[in-house]
Amino acid sequence: MLMSTLQQNHSEHIDSETGKLGMWIFLFTELFLFGGLFLVYAVFRAKYSEDFHTAADELNTFIGTLNTVFLLVSSMTVAMSVTAIQKNNRKLALFLVLVTLVLAGLFMMNKYFEWSHKFEYNLYPGSEVLKNLPRGELLFFGLYYMMTGLHALHVFIGMILLSINIVKIGKGTVNQQHYLMLENSGLYWHLVDLIWIFLFPLLYLIT
Amino acid sequence: MKNEGVHISSYSSHGIVLTVLLALTTLSVMVTDWHLGAFSVSIALLIASIKVSTVITYFMHVKFESLFLKLLIAGVFVIYALVIIITFIDYFLR
Amino acid sequence: MSNSETGSHVSYLEYKGKYKGILSWLLTTDHKKIGLLYLYSVVVFFFVAAILGVLMRIELIAPGETIMGPQTYNGMFTIHGIIMIFVIVIPALPAIFGNFFLPIMIGAKDVAFPKLNLFSYYLYLIGAIFGVLSQFIGGGAPDTGWTFYVPYSAESSTNVIYALVAAFILGFSSILTGLNFIVTMHRMRAPGMGWFRMPLFPWSLYATAWIQVLATPIVGITLLMVIAERVVGIGFFDPKLGGDPVLFQHLFWIYSHPAVYIMILPGMGIVTEIFPTFSQKPVFGYTAILFSSLAIAFVGYFVWGHHMFTAGISYGSRWFFSFLTFIVAIPSAIKVFNWISTMYGGSIDLKPPLLYAISFIFLFMIGGFTGLTLGAVAANVQVHDTSFVVAHFHYIIFGGMGFAFFAGIHYWYPKMFGRMYSNKLANIAWGINFAGFNLLYFPQFVIGLQGMPRRYFDYLPQFQTGHVLSTIGAFVLFTGLVLMVFNLVYHARRGAIAPSNPWHGVTLEWLIPSPPSHENFDVIPEIKTQPYLFGNKSDNKSN
């Protein structure tokens, strides 16, 4: 164990293995946070499988697939940005994080259009239309909004982290020697992707 | 400080991983059109699990991390799965 | 070596860092000062919630309305529970003693993420304040009970959302503390301190931290779902909208049962430190206690349904949860056996910490046995939602965690403040506390078995004797608590100067000055042996 180096931990830089372990544990908490919603989904899908199928038809599979592609590509670009910074290629790292951010923005734009489209049809929690739907369909939409909403909040937080990295790479405070911030933000971003990988089939691909 | 001995993933390995993920995504969309009834949930979840494992192993670099971290991640998923299964002891047997 | 010389060092309380005066406390990242910030907050909030408890006891001294009506009573037991559970019992031991002593006991200068540690404290404070605010704003004090069961929590016109937000923020604080401790123990142990050379209080914090990290998020999202129920009628728990109220109970208890292990595991860890020190003998069964802690944390994750035996869950579920509830009692029993065996044949010094630790075993066992009564499905039907449950959890939480807390503060006080309290006052306070505690809670077992419901402000005349005894007990206990706190507060600046090792302990905190210096160690120690070696003939028998 690298104990002696770690005892000097009171400088501005946290040892990278320490910081990474901290981020992984934080990711576990996020898994369990979304996990509660997935549990609710599982219970009601088992109970109302027909209604879930009907309601899921309202969702636009093309936009859902497009969003999945955006996030998968963005995971690749942020992973590549870590490679770039490790190889001291600052400009490439910066560019890749920027691309990640743009893809995130496209995802959010899609989400905005999806939601506002449904709002136009009065399909939102608490609306009269929803209250008159069969119970399983009502619950499906409740889950849809809460799960994609919580996910979108995390995309937004991820975008802030990515922006901070752009600034820091630009300034040089995230560099080949010290890139824990980028690595951890990358891990967070991958989590956002992971959650969507499960959300996508469960919400959009019900047959 | 930390770059001695740290594995650096290549750009091309990330590209290959993305290709695999996109292929799996295409597969899962196609599968919904094949009317498999009750199996469709399982297949969708199976494909999603493969995608998730791929992202964790390669994009999140876990393949090159310590055994401890690998066991930890597996353990966390096992505990979560147990919570779901045990909850369903109630729902399936009511 | 230089670590134990008291002469030239500057105590952490006097240390002059980046900030002066009050800012040196409000902006500190020193784990010791953060521990004290938590200590002072916990003591204040504890007395607020205790006074609420005393008021409830006054109401219950006679049937009918005594000093408050039913709505007020419902609000009282709700906020009493919210503060006690989320602001006191869940945070206190890790945040106070864990923060102060974990780094020292593993030979580190601080936790892994000191700034995150301070952030945890502020989240805690904000959450606690939200809880208090819920009493005074708009719709009135929440009356749902701290368990927030639907459908009532979705329908009640009181300030439920404030209370839910308070619990959410407090949960986040707990998660970050757990995260910090896990990383600290993985990455910052002193050279030579392998995992199996780490003392057992840190081990108990390790098991606790995993529960904090893996269970709390589930209640977090559940509370958000209740907010969604209240604000937009999302329907997950509303039968009219197709939902299931029992699903809320599942989600709630999936966290809240493991939460009780967050409460008790560090307490067990504390007494595991006290027994060897005051017996001058190694812990009996180091490995057994270690794995018992982990087993309690793991198995405890899967017993939540024993809170729901009468809620309408399936027969298979009831069978499963009851069975596992009995299993999870076994590691606790193993620990009791090991504690007593630690004392057996030792050179016993009955100082206040040991007095509290021994009474901890007694009270914890009563709580534990009555837990088995509740865990047996058939018996549960009789006692669910009666005073029997109230007595059970107060024995386990207050008699267990609470007395372990008192044991810990009496044990580590000389180290934290550099002073000695009065043993005589401590012993008197202990006696009053012990007598008062049992007088307060034991009658509740009896009337509970006879049918006295919980959370009722009124009752049939046949229960009054038990209630009168219980209320008298409340006043006795409160007196003892005040005396105990007075003893500690009074001597914090006036007591005799404490030596670095007043109890002849052998863990690392006793090898540094009292109080410690800012970075704990002048020289990070190198660990060459297992813990709990006393340099006497008992060492040869240790494992």
Cis omega (within 30 of 0) for bond into C151: yes
Q: Give contacts of A3 with chain C, Cβ < 8 Å.
A: 188-191, 524
* Interatomic CA distance for residues C520 and C10, integer angstroms: 10
Nearest to C217 by CA among C162, C172, C153, C165: C172
- Residue written as token pair 């404070």: C125
Shortest CA gap C433–chain A (Å): 39
In CATH terms, the superfamily for domain C2-541 is Cytochrome c oxidase-like, subunit I domain (1.20.210.10)
* Interatomic CA distance for residues C10 and C8, integer angstroms: 7
Residue type, C235: G
- Residue written as token pair 């119970």: A135
Using CB atoms, pick whichever of B76, B82, B93 lies closest to residue C316.
B93
Inter-chain CB proximity B55 and A32 less than 8 Å: no
DSSP C522: S
Phi and psi at residue C11, to the nearest 5°? -65, 155
Q: Which helix (H) or strand (E) holds C353?
A: helix C352-375
Residue type, C233: G
Residue window 66-125, chain A: list those with CB within 8 Å of chain B: 68-69, 72-73, 75-76, 79-80, 82-83, 86-87
A22 touches chain B (CB under 8 A): no
- Nearest residue in C to B94, CA atom: C314
CA distance readout (Å), C208 to B73, C93, C122, C284, C468: 18, 10, 21, 22, 38
pLDDT recorded at residue A2? 41
Name the average pLDDT for chain C.
Answer: 95
- CB-neighbour burial class of residue A138 (10 A; exposed 0-12, middle 13-18, buried 19+): buried
Q: Which helix (H) or strand (E) holds C496?
A: strand C496-497
The number of beta carbons lying within 10 Å of the beta carbon of residue A47 is 16
CA distance readout (Å), C277 to C272, C280, C474: 9, 5, 32
Shortest CA gap A93–chain C (Å): 27
* Interatomic CA distance for residues C541 and C530, integer angstroms: 13
Domain boundaries, chain A: 16-204
Can you spell out the DSSP letters for C102-155?
A: HHHHTT-SS-S-HHHHHHHHHHHHHHHHHHHHTTTSTT-S--STTTT-TTHHHH
Per the CB < 8 A criterion, the answer to whether C92 and C173 are in contact is no
Helices (H) and strands (E) in chain C, counts: 18, 2
Inter-chain CB proximity B82 and C302 less than 8 Å: yes
Per the CB < 8 A criterion, the answer to whether C30 and C518 are in contact is yes
Low-confidence ranges of chain C (pLDDT < 70): 1-8, 540-543
pLDDT recorded at residue C207? 98
CA atoms within 13 A on the CB side of A164: 14
Can you spell out the DSSP letters for chain A?
A: --HHHHTTTTSSSPPHHHHHHHHHHHHHHHHHHHHHHHHHHHHHHHH-HHHHHHHHTTS-HHHHHHHHHHHHHHHHHHHHHHHHHHTT-HHHHHHHHHHHHHHHHHHHHHHHHHHHHHHHTT-STT-HHHHTS-HHHHHHHHHHHHHHHHHHHHHHHHHHHHHHHHHHHHHTSSSSS--HHHHHHHHHHHHHHHHHHHHHHHHH---
Cis omega (within 30 of 0) for bond into C103: no
Inter-chain CB proximity B93 and C315 less than 8 Å: yes
* Interatomic CA distance for residues A9 and A19, integer angstroms: 11
CA distance readout (Å), A131 to C68, C235, C247: 40, 10, 20
A98 touches chain C (CB under 8 A): no
* Interatomic CA distance for residues C143 and C137, integer angstroms: 14
Q: Which residues pair with C497 in a beta bridge?
A: C419
Helix axes of C114-133 and C31-59: crossing angle, nearest 10 degrees: 20
Q: Give contacts of B92 with chain C, Cβ < 8 Å.
A: 314
Shortest CA gap B1–chain A (Å): 6
- A interface mutation test: which of B33, B45, B51 has the most A CBs within 10 A? B51
Q: Give contacts of B44 with chain A, Cβ < 8 Å.
A: 201-202, 205
Per the CB < 8 A criterion, the answer to whether A179 and A124 are in contact is no
* Interatomic CA distance for residues B77 and C67, integer angstroms: 52
- Residue written as token pair 């004290």: C36
pLDDT recorded at residue A57? 92
Helix axes of C70-82 and C160-187: crossing angle, nearest 10 degrees: 20
Residue type, C26: L
Positive or negative, the CA dihedral C212, A41, C151, A146 is positive
Positive or negative, the CA dihedral C346, C350, C356, C358 is positive
Inter-chain CB proximity B32 and A194 less than 8 Å: no
Domain boundaries, chain C: 2-541
Subunits with 3+ Cβ pairs within 8 Å of B are A, C
Low-confidence ranges of chain A (pLDDT < 50): 1-10
Per the CB < 8 A criterion, the answer to whether C220 and C172 are in contact is yes
In CATH terms, the superfamily for domain A16-204 is Cytochrome c oxidase, subunit III, four-helix bundle (1.20.120.80)
pLDDT recorded at residue A12? 66
- Judged against a pLDDT cut of 90, whether residue B25 lies above it is answered with yes
Inter-chain CB proximity C250 and B92 less than 8 Å: no
Q: Is the ipTM of this complex over 0.90?
A: yes
C291 touches chain A (CB under 8 A): no
- Residue written as token pair 């989590």: A191
CA distance readout (Å), A4 to C16, C123, C184, C191: 26, 32, 14, 7
Q: Give contacts of C108 with chain A, Cβ < 8 Å.
A: 7
- CB-neighbour burial class of residue B23 (10 A; exposed 0-12, middle 13-18, buried 19+): exposed
Using CB atoms, pick whichever of B3, B48, B87 lies closest to residue A201.
B48
